[in-house]
Chains A and B, each alone.
Chain A
Amino acid sequence: MSATVTAENKPAPPPVERIKVKVDGREIEVPKTTPDWQGKPQATTMLQACAHAGVDVPHYCYHHKLPVAGNCRMCLVEFGTPVMDPATKKPALNEDGSPKIARSVLPYEPGTPRGAIACATPISPGMELYPGSPATAQMREAVLESLLINHPLDCTICDQAGECKLQEYSVEHGQAASRFVETKVHKPKAVDLGPRIVLDDERCILCTRCIRFTKDIVNDDALGIINRGSYNTIAAAPGRQFDNNYTLNTVDLCPVGALTSKDFRFKMRVWFLKETKSVCPGCATGCNIIIGSRENVIQRLEPRENDAVNGPWMCDSGRLDYKWVGASNRLKEVLVGGKPSTWQTALSEIGSRLVTAAPGSVAIVGSARLSTEELFLLKQLARKFDAITDVVEHLGEADRLLVHAEKAPNYSGARITGLAYTEAGINLPRIRAGIETGSIKSLVVVGEDLVAAGFSSDLLGRLSLLVVSDIVPTPTTSIAHYVLPGCAYAEKRGTFINAKGRVQKFMKAVEPPGTARPEWEFLHELVHQVTGGNGYSTIEGLFNLLARELAPLAGLEWSRLGDTGVTVTL
């Protein structure tokens, strides 16, 4: 088996022609084309050229993954273009030999500088951009003044405070006092746009990011603008709810506090949140996320941009599916024969009972919710006992954007480690039959409720050894001889491999409850105990070991996975 490993986030683009421009007097060379929001090469824009020079051009409506609208005008930048000598048709030169540059001016008022919107204006060779000029500063200041005249300026009670581009740019580029003395336009407040989103139209700056995302990315025309001019108002189409599975992305996109998530609204100031890089466990897509937590409680999930997986988006169901992590019914202690016990007792008893099991009498059922490291350790156990293994299949609906039909994050990990053979679940009937005929006497289940998967309690009751690890009580844990409290993905580290072969790390955001431990930790101890083989007590070491042993992962190392992972050929 050959392993193709790309360490880059994006495949290296073919070399493109480079052109020279000046940004505030500094000459730089930039690619003539740059991928647009759909990844198609387009003429590099002034905004992108400035970024190459390390200069941020403030912007509201522009978003690199949305079609360009050019409506906010915040990115206006003064510029100049080389003058052509009409006689020679060559660039005209100054006396010192430098190219003559014509600064942009209004065609009907040659004394007044003219800006171009950096987000949509292509650069041309020899162009000079003046993002730092007084004229540019004046244009920004004027746009900000305009944006603020009808804005309620209620930052003290606004959820966006701390993440608000209006606030941020006003400090950087605004002016101290507004000249505005008229009455403000009033618009609807606290509009219920749909089941998850509330809109404050007075805070909206009409950048249309939410509309463009909904229309051009999600293919939903639920959002639009009603009225005209200053009275323009974002609204759901008459009789429509803003209720697709991606609505919460508009909250991330909204540069101000106009769109808020009902789930997170008024919870807390964002600057109190601890941010942890992770991967959504909701389906086999494995969207990259940031877990926002405070005092050991998850407060929100947000997408983390990864072009190889989810771009900057995630689905609403994945985003809102975090409350189970801190649920009060979590398993908090080790149970032996239904009674509280210790890890040491339980693991050494399990170890010695497994070691004496007859070859072929052990079965192991893992879960595609487990990390690759955990699946790998289960596979090592299985090898030792010649155990039949599988994981449980959880299928649901897929969509055209992100959502995958497999409703767990690591089916690829299950297959690569060999815990699942091909399709998940094809060995389960054999395990069931084995228990029935008595050939299977010991069963280790990690992360699944087998009763829900079609194993009756009666059947499981026939086993002489039933070891179950889970994070909440289930009908299966209730009849287990040993119950081992495990961790949610947010309580441990590890890797998931998504449906397309993206190997991605997730990090620990919160502490597990009680004496619950990461599965990889206790599985590692168990493997160590029964095989006597030397293991690795760190997740890094474990990953590096499995990468050496599993052909598709050959050449990978934990340290090379980066924040956004590496794609392998499955």
Chain B
Amino acid sequence: MPQEYRLILKHADQTGYTPDIECYLRHGGYEALRKALATTSRELPDGKKQSPQEVIRDEVLKSGLRGRGGAGFSCGLKWSFVDRRSGKPIYLICNADESEPGTFKDRQILHKDPHQLIEGMIISCWANDVKLAYIYVRGEFPQAARIINQALKEARAKGFLGKNILGTGVDLEIHLHRGAGAYICGEETGLIESLEGKRPYPRIKPPYFPAVLGLYMCPTIVNNVETLCAVRHIVSMGAGEYAKLGTVNNTGTRIISLSGDVKRPGYYEVEVGKATLGELIHHENFGQGLRPGRSIRAIIPGGSSSKVLKAGERFKLKRKGADGQMTTVEVDLLDLPYDFDSLQAAGTMSGSGAIIVLDDTRNPVDVLANVSEFYAHESCGQCTPCREGALWMSKALHRLTHGEGRKSDADYLLHIAQNIQGRTICAFGEAAAWPTLSFVKKFKAEFEARGAADEAHPGKPPASH
């Protein structure tokens, strides 16, 4: 039976669990940090020696942990790219800008269990020789900022932060920085610019890969809140145990934000890939299905920027059988395991882990108009295709939803979106283009009908659906 597996959110919603350090310590808090700091160096079978920090980094790599911020990139690999020979300080930044529409998981941690994040950060910093780290908190999270600041104060007072942590000679300071309210500040290089006090214009890569030229042109690690919390659990349970959670190449747990047309929207922590999209939507432990008489029209599976999946779509997935043989199976949309690889195989992504369900009362044209308005508003405007294209699409969709559409607008929209994806400075270009590309391609008849109706009755407000 698919059910939640609460690892990171284990205590968060328990009655009586409070965000203060005393409560955290009563629940075994900072034990993982002590364990990490007590790590000893080890010799590998090939005779190479690993320092205690390398041991932890190796554990994180072996755990299979993939970033929970959106791209699902291996955390251990990301850490291995850090330029450790530059002689410059290495910085770590926790990305707490959580702004992808539909996503509300990091805020659970920030509000309810701040010390878990801080502990995960201290371990990650120590493992990467970081002496100064930042938590970049979304501008619209004032309460989270206050809670985290209070928690940082407590951690300092208890000797978990600051000079000579727990008498080990390790130093670390963590500062909280509040954004001013822009989605693009979640993009890691935009975030870095913002942290430097500049306009959050994402940087070009090459040459500005954060692992080499990040904050103040020093090597920098940017990780999502949930990713850093997972590090704490990898250390306390060991990479092997952690990797047993979830599925092959999609290890551990993930907090899924479920919203839209389901009876029980909310956040659910599950073992990655152990529940299908259908289960997450329908099962009584999760979304509990749609309202009476409604059926699914589409699912936005990984935050508003992921490509929409249409009810009835079928996908081919490669599966490794018990005999080790690869077989290809065809599955229905609702039978897609909710993990990184399956959603990628379905031509979309699990992104920030935000599932938005659209039932048959939703018109895809209106949904896209709404999503597109968000991206037009949030484009930073630095590079031409996204700056001009995002607003262009939004204006066209506004027209199409306000009685002035054309049948040809469907192709017009595809043309605009195609000229954005892959041509921009940052992945916001894809984020802006993918909803249009997927909605229009998969619901072309609806888009053309809307435009044709307007052409038949020019100037009339849209017919209700």
Contact = CB atoms under 8 A, between A and B. Distances in A.
Interface of A: 68-74, 76, 106, 108-109, 112, 114-115, 117, 120-122, 139, 142-143, 145-147, 149-150, 179-183, 185, 205-206, 224-225, 227-232
The 7 closest A-B pairs by CB, nearest first: A232-B381, A142-B419, A146-B388, A70-B204, A230-B391, A229-B379, A182-B395
Contact of B391 (A109, A139, A185): A185
B382 A146 contact: no
A108 B305 CA distance: 14
A175 B453 CA distance: 30
B142 interface: no
Contacts of B385: 73, 142-143, 146
B425 A71 contact: yes
17 contacts: A68-B204, A71-B383, A73-B384, A108-B430, A112-B422, A122-B206, A145-B419, A149-B388, A150-B388, A206-B382, A206-B387, A224-B199, A225-B381, A227-B381, A228-B377, A228-B380, A229-B380
Interface string B384-427: 11011111100110010000000000001001000101111100
B47 interface: no
Given A149-B388, A229-B379, 13 more contacts: A70-B383, A71-B382, A76-B423, A114-B422, A120-B204, A139-B423, A142-B423, A182-B396, A228-B381, A229-B377, A229-B381, A230-B376, A230-B390
A74 B384 CA distance: 9
A147 B388 contact: yes
A229 B425 contact: no
Contacts of B395: 182-183
B207 interface: yes
B384 A143 contact: yes
B377 A73 contact: no
Interface of B: 182, 199, 201, 204, 206-207, 376-385, 387-392, 395-396, 399, 412, 415, 419, 421-425, 430
B384 A70 contact: no
Nearest to B382: A71
B383 A73 contact: yes
Nearest to B430: A108
A146 B384 contact: yes
A561 to B, nearest CB: 39
B388 A182 contact: no
Contacts of A227: 381
B425 A70 contact: yes
- Residue in B388, B396, B423 with the greatest tally of chain A CB atoms within 10 Å: B388
Given A106-B422, A183-B395, A146 B389 contact: yes
A404 to B, nearest CB: 33
Nearest to A141: B419
B213 to A, nearest CB: 13
A180 B422 CA distance: 21
A21 B429 CA distance: 30
Contacts of B201: 71
Contact of A232 (B378, B387, B422): B387
A180 B423 CA distance: 20
Contacts of A205: 384
B159 to A, nearest CB: 41
Nearest to A208: B382
Given A106-B421, A122-B206, A147 B384 contact: yes
Contacts of B207: 120
A115 B421 CA distance: 11
Contacts of A122: 206
A179 B381 contact: no
Contacts of A149: 388, 392
A230 B381 contact: yes
B424 A73 contact: yes
Nearest to A114: B422
B434 to A, nearest CB: 9
Contacts of A112: 422
Contacts of A143: 384-385, 419, 423
Contacts of B422: 106, 109, 112, 114-115
A71 B206 CA distance: 13
B381 A206 contact: yes
Contacts of A76: 423
A129 to B, nearest CB: 16
A225 B199 contact: yes
A224 B391 CA distance: 21
